[in-house]
């Protein structure tokens, strides 16, 4: 019988939606419950770090692009079960989403050494089955997801 695993912690992160020329900037997840799916650039807010600092740092680490400006959009929450090293884990994710304007430049396509396998401009509209579930609602609200 399946027993639901209670999450050990809440993952709080900040993420950005950057759109350019009919494409949205995404990263491919390399670990965690969204492994193999496209997700929006961003991640964990470090202790003592302001939201804006975290957003700028995460974009630099994952995409190599600088955030020129940002505008808060919404907060989203997602809970799921996933398997890690043969054990069921609970995952509780809270995401702060922002619309971002990005500097021009080449996108970092290599892995960041954490959980991104590289960034890419993905053609719109996005297909839900290829996108991390946490991002579905915000992408739909922006007209970017089928």
Backbone angles phi, psi at 10, to 5 degrees: -100, 130
53 or 9: whose pLDDT is higher? 53
Alpha-carbon torsion 85, 90, 96, 100, what sign?
A: positive
- pLDDT tier, 1 (very low <50, low <70, confident <90, very high otherwise): very low
32 or 141: whose pLDDT is higher? 141
Listed residue (93, 101, 80) closest to 43, CA to CA:
93
Report the number of distinct structural domains present in the chain: 1
Q: Which CATH number goes with the domain that contains 116?
A: 3.90.79.10
Q: Indicate whether 113 belongs to any domain.
A: yes
- pLDDT tier, 86 (very low <50, low <70, confident <90, very high otherwise): confident
pLDDT at position 85: 84
The parent domain of residue 93 ranges over 12-140
Q: What stretches of the chain show up as alpha helix (H) in DSSP?
A: 51-63, 136-141
pLDDT at position 84: 80
* CA–CA separation, 32 and 70 (whole Å): 27
């Amino acid at each position: 019988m399946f027993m639901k695993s209670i999450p050990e912690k809440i993952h709080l992160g900040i993420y950005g939606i950057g759109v350019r020329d009919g494409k949205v900037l995404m990263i491919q997840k390399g670990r965690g419950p969204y492994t193999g799916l496209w997700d929006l650039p961003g991640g964990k807010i470090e202790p003592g770090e302001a939201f804006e600092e975290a957003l700028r740092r995460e974009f630099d680490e994952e995409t190599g692009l600088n955030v020129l400006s940002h505008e808060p959009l919404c907060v989203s929450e997602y809970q799921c079960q996933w398997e890690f090293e043969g054990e069921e884990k609970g995952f509780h994710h809270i995401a702060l989403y922002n619309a971002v304007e990005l500097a021009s430049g080449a996108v970092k396509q290599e892995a960041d050494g954490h959980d991104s396998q590289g960034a890419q401009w993905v053609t719109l509209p996005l297909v839900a089955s290829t996108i991390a579930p946490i991002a579905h609602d915000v992408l739909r609200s922006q007209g970017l997801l089928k």
